[in-house]
Structure 1
């Protein structure tokens, strides 16, 4: 189903049309094989990047497309409806470009056209094996040695780990707590950066995360992004926007599940009529569609606040929380609509169900989102 959208410009409509063409022509024919065989879609990502979809919300002067977040998130939704791993890749790459764009030195910012242009792929190294939600407790360290930072430690659950061309590494350059954390931009081919074997995941098998070990990796001092000790602030600001990206992925995934289940319910007959005519199935579909519409409305509200330069972090947390929980419910119900057929890989709903789960975890678990929201209500 094509969702009716009201967009700010004709260019935005054309962009969504292009995205649908790419999703139908490049993503949909390949997703099943890549997911089944665990093949990373680097060639597909190059196609997506060269079409201008990697730098959508960044200014044209920096190599981006100058699109509002409201438009960028709808692009992610369309991509996720065909292939979640590709949509997540665009979201993570967009997140990975934020530190240099927002805090980079004049010299670092000269690399933005390359970062945003589509040929390079970024990764965001914040989580660690012993510190997921407690990001301020990270232990990966960068110490000064002459003209270099020397990085030592391990990062975990890194999307594009072993595939990325550059890593944003959040590391400890000072004492304990948030004020001791800095951000360093490291090229993936730096000696001492050692990607580990990909994790064996229940979903997103074409793009599983991996640990990254930093074993005395030397990065020039001028690759520090922002001021020393500003890393935690940079990370949290980037995640506010990144949560909107994950919410958009959830909406796209859930919409695909609604469309597929509704199509199946129109065609599948039992007791002499289509199963969608039975109230038990019809009401299930109605609830699924309503959940998706509500999630999309929350998401676009947060995006419009961001585009207007107004505070949006709490609304982003609400959107991420609701949209990803909705995706889990909707994909579960889509399997129920299909019955036994939904439990086998002949139909994509079982894959969407497995993929929806990770969206409740990445870019801050939904428990963390509830913490953000509740604190905004109780701290006055």
Structure 2
């Protein structure tokens, strides 16, 4: 029998240690890598000495846990590094430089750009959509991007994937578990009004901080080879995702398919245009930071979450801002009793409320280090939390809560197959 978890004031010590790690990230945001790695070491040591890993104590439990998580970690690592090179290819294609020719000159230009990120994320990985959005913003605003607008880019990328079974890891997990794609599509009833609200507010913030470039530089043309490389990398990730989900989902438990597909495309296209390899050291540091937090979150006793209801689904959105949404989604699928459209919106969009709450946010912070402040993110990106609540309320009053208990036999392999988009999330 598994012993009771050590608790302080009714809270498992695991959660307290993770909360302290996140607080350290918030306070010492110039030393986030060191704080995250230290937190991982402390949490791992605590579980080795005083508790267990999903019921298995000691080193054996740790090994079993890492065997379960390594595919997700490897996929995310491959995507973060790969998309850092992809975003540079996109920048060098000069598409961002010519965007001012097609976007409105005032705050509505930023609004339209966020809509584009949303649309891209509905069929691309949300990390790629956020990185592309960040690259476009860098060119449109001459490098001066407001933290509130950065929060909106992340929110747009996460909202766009919330209603698509190929747009986010959590929705793909639901698809694997047997949730029909049309049920997941319901999430757009909340995501679209949320998008409109935060996009208008964030675009106005950005326009007051740094107006959009009114004219593209004279003589700039698209570098089509670079753009073709970007398309090749993205299509490789999407194709691998769809193929293995439909034909060989069991492979996803053992091989980081999506990360490998991205890097295969990068290497194959290298003779056409050489990637900027100098970006990798910086991207590696940011990736290790994210992976440390992901591993910390994966060791949390998520079985202590409340029973399924629309209130708990709403709460999971806030929880996903600080906890990895993959184990949260896996637990919800195992429990059953959720309205899956609500869950897809909550865990998909909720992570946008804090910069490290989703992989899209962490990836974008590699490009914009000023985003690595929880205080600044919450202060400048307050509209994301407001939009989350508004979207949830609209969905609740228009569609109503319709829980659907899945057969547990379908949900057993879900956690093992949860790597197709490399997270999410976050």
Q: Same fold (TM over 0.5)?
A: no
Instruction: With the length of structure 2 as denominator, give the TM-score of the two structures.
Output: 0.27
Q: Which has the higher strand share?
A: 1
Larger relative contact order, structure 1 or 2 (CA cutoff 8 Å, min sep 6): 2
Instruction: With the length of structure 1 as denominator, give the TM-score of the two structures.
Output: 0.30
Q: Which has the higher helix share?
A: 2
